[in-house]
Amino acid sequence: MKILFFYLDAFSQTGGIENFNKAFMKALSDLSRENNMNFLSVSVYDCDPDERYIAKENYKGFSGSRIGSSLYAIKKCIEYDQVILGHINLAIVGIIIKIIKPRAKIILIAHGIEVWEKLHFIKGAFLRRIHKIFAVSNFTKEKLVSVNKVDPAMVEILHNTLDPYFKIPDFFEKPSYLLERYKINKNTKVILTVTRIAETETAKGYEKVIEILPDLVKVDPDIIYILAGKHDEREGLKIKKLVGNLRMQNNFILTGYIPESELSDHYLLADVFVLPSKKEGFGIVFIEALACGLTVIAGNSDGSSDALNNGEFGILVDPEDLSQLKSCLIGSLKYQAKNYKTTIIEKSYLSFRDNTRKLIINSNL
């Protein structure tokens, strides 16, 4: 079996799709050693790979050249049995490959909002020509079926996973260096959100948490809300203005970018993780937080439900209901049960790799 994986980015940016792509390439690398399978990954935006996930001989990066990467993928498709496209924005390449090689088995990976709306023209035509779709959540599958009229039998679920190199802690202790950095007492209750923070990200829900922060402070004046993640300048100013208007400067921390080496420690610093989003395709941050023993609160109207196993692993709330969000946060801060091993086993990398193997082999039959 020969597989060509054509995707946007994994190593040059951070985010859920990028994390998925890294884990997917790691799974392909593992499977190529175990089975009679050759594969090549081609990236539009990445330059060099992280060789923990994929060896250089299985990789070609184009550093942002859409035309160069597309022409290369089209040229190489003749040599491969399966062509896996990492995003619907690569649909035009899939259509050209199908014209050149009609018998090619083309698979699309569907992450979230990019396929939730009705797809027209090239993207719509592409959906009618592919062999399979791997969706990262049942919510995304339901949207493909209901909105884009995709045959349910075409869509397989490949849930997101923890990064295989994510540092899962053995002990639940608040890191002293972060307590010192942020000037937090070890007994202070900390609410944490880790997410991409940008003006274009309008449905993450962190502003809802900021809005109810004054009510939370009435219950416990020492509560700290930490919003962690890289942010653009305009969104950063908007958040600081909202916090200032509410006079919550002493109870709020905007960290900026968190390096991978400190990610687990930031989860350990917290008592509750919250991201009441409305457009999350899955939410790897939820299973990262679970792996670090946190109570997790998420929105109930997107792919977050898959990450929390429909509420079995955490709390699902209506992201528009501020009173519900407030009561869940107050209740979670009063009672914390730090137990992670059973909650993440179904989302572990080994399960992801086994599911990848099964889906790819079945798609080749």
Residue among 118, 121, 159, 154 nearest 139 (CA)? 159
Supply the mean pLDDT for the chain.
93
Residue spans of the domains in the chain: they are 2-161+348-363, 176-345
pLDDT at 171: 83
Query: Is pLDDT of 344 > 70?
Result: no
Report the percentage of the chain scoring pLDDT > 70.
Answer: 96
196 exposure class (CB count in 10 Å sphere: 0-12, 13-18, 19+):
middle
Mean per-residue pLDDT for 79-83? 94
Report the percentage of the chain scoring pLDDT > 90.
Answer: 85
Q: Decide if 2-161+348-363 and 176-345 have a common fold.
A: yes
pLDDT in tens, 193-221: 999 898 877 789 999 999 999 999 999 99
266-282 exposure pattern, b = at least 16 Cβ within 10 A, e = fewer: bbbbbbbbbbbbbbbbb
Q: Please state whether beta strands 38-43 and 59-61 pair in parallel, antiparallel, or not at all (unpaired).
A: parallel
Give the global pTM: 0.93
pLDDT in tens, 121-168: 999 999 999 999 999 999 999 999 999 999 999 999 999 999 999 988
Question: Which tokens is 258 given?
Answer: 């968190």
Residue type, 171: F
Residue among 174, 208, 177 nearest 188 (CA)? 174
pLDDT in tens, 284-302: 999 999 989 899 999 999 9
| 2-161+348-363 is a CATH 3.30.70.260 domain | no
pLDDT at 109: 98
Mean per-residue pLDDT for 75-81? 94
Query: Is pLDDT of 180 > 90?
Result: yes
What does the longest C-alpha to C-alpha distance in the chain come to? 65
Torsion on CA atoms 169, 171, 177, 180, rounded to nearest 10: 130
Query: Is pLDDT of 77 > 80?
Result: yes
Query: Is pLDDT of 339 > 60?
Result: no
Torsion on CA atoms 189, 190, 191, 194, rounded to nearest 10: -170
| Sheet (strand 315-317) strand order | 252-256, 224-228, 190-194, 272-275, 295-299, 315-317
Compute CA 352 distance to the chain's CA centroid, rounded to the nearest angstrom: 14
Question: Which tokens is 264 given?
Answer: 């687990």
Torsion on CA atoms 7, 8, 10, 11, rounded to nearest 10: 130
pLDDT in tens, 17-75: 999 999 999 999 999 988 778 999 999 999 999 999 999 999 999 999 999 999 999 99
Name the CATH superfamily for 176-345: Glycogen Phosphorylase B; (3.40.50.2000)
If you search the block for the tokens 């979230």, which residue do you land on?
112
Higher pLDDT, 35 or 169: 169
Give the pLDDT band (50/70/90) at residue 363. confident
For residues 159 and 350, give the distance between their C-alpha atoms in angstroms, rounded to a whole number: 12
Residues comprising the chain, all counted: 365
Query: Is pLDDT of 341 > 80?
Result: no
Query: Is pLDDT of 335 > 70?
Result: yes
Give the pLDDT band (50/70/90) at residue 14. confident
Q: How many CB atoms lie within 10 A of CB 241?
A: 10
pLDDT at 288: 93
For residues 139 and 34, give the distance between their C-alpha atoms in angstroms, rounded to a whole number: 32
| Sheet (strand 82-85) strand order | 59-61, 38-43, 2-7, 82-85, 105-110, 132-135, 155-157
Map 97-133 to HEC letters: HHHHCCCCEEEEEECCHHHCCCCCHHHHHHHCCCCEE
pLDDT in tens, 255-281: 999 999 999 999 999 999 999 999 999
DSSP, res 143: H
Question: Which tokens is 313 given?
Answer: 């692993």
